[in-house]
Structure 1
């Protein structure tokens, strides 16, 4: 095989990666605000253009309970298991970034506005929760697991 043919084969084999923009969809490891240690895993999926993040594992529950409940949540989420709960909703692609969505902190039972941004070539996800304006909030950096 000539070097030219080999080059063309390499280009064709790599071309799908060129067309795929990194997205928030995937499995992410969160961080506990209390300990700074891994807090759990959240799977983010895209459904009809909306990114939804669901808790799939909790590493650092607020109590020694292996199956924490959202005791401080209100409405339909009150006393529901945190694992399986959709905590990220309403985020959509918008230009080069993502629109404002909502995020639930199951430890506090509070829902905040949130913004997300992919960092480090899609290997990290900055999640900023806030009330009012983004300046008045806090950020976590989640790490992609798959």
Structure 2
């Protein structure tokens, strides 16, 4: 009886450990290239140290009306308005919070030159919900991104 009980306890511990690891998720599952919900851009999410960042790697309309590469014309800092959009790091400082969620990040919207607090949630292997907000997450907007290329 004691051996059977000990075996049961060990098996239960193994099962709980396995489920805890699965529930925690993979912090690097977000790495790769994602197309935004509008289909106007692709963002490569990458990792530096223990933080996650994103950079624009593709634009549906890469050039301005004059045929030159688009720049960050709406940036509130005049010195940054000539920075090319392609290659621009517009997401920064995300940390993995568990359960396929990355929090405490910032996202820059080159369409209006504003910076927002941001969090990301991986709903499945190829779908990422990106929520930008001001103040609390309640006041914001969620965009659904689709994976293009896995890292």
What 5-or-longer segments of structure 2 have no aligned partner?
1-21
Counterparts of 1:17-56 in structure 2, within 5 Å, are 21=26, 23-32=29-38, 38-56=39-57
Paired position in structure 1 for 2:140: 137
- Summarize deviations over 1:19-41 as a string: whole Å, max 9, x none: x8362110111133xxxxx1111
Structure 1 vs Structure 2 CA RMSD: 2.2
Tell me how far apart the structure 2 counterparts of residues 106 and 48 of structure 1 sit (CA, whole Å): 26
Number of positions where the alignment pairs a residue of Structure 1 with one of Structure 2: 122
Unaligned 5+ residue runs, structure 1? 1-17, 33-37
Indicate if the aligned counterparts of 2:63 and 2:69 stay in contact, CA closer than 8 A.
no
Residue in 2 that maps onto 1:106: 110
Aligned match of 2:74: 72
Alpha-carbon deviation of 1:66?
5.9
TM-score by length of 1: 0.75
Deviating beyond 6 angstroms after TM superposition, the runs of 4 or more aligned structure 1 residues are none
Higher normalized helix content (fraction of residues): 2
Displacement after TM superposition at 1:95 (Å)? 3.0
Q: Deviations over 1:41-74 (max 9, x none)?
A: 1111011011110001111469545621111113
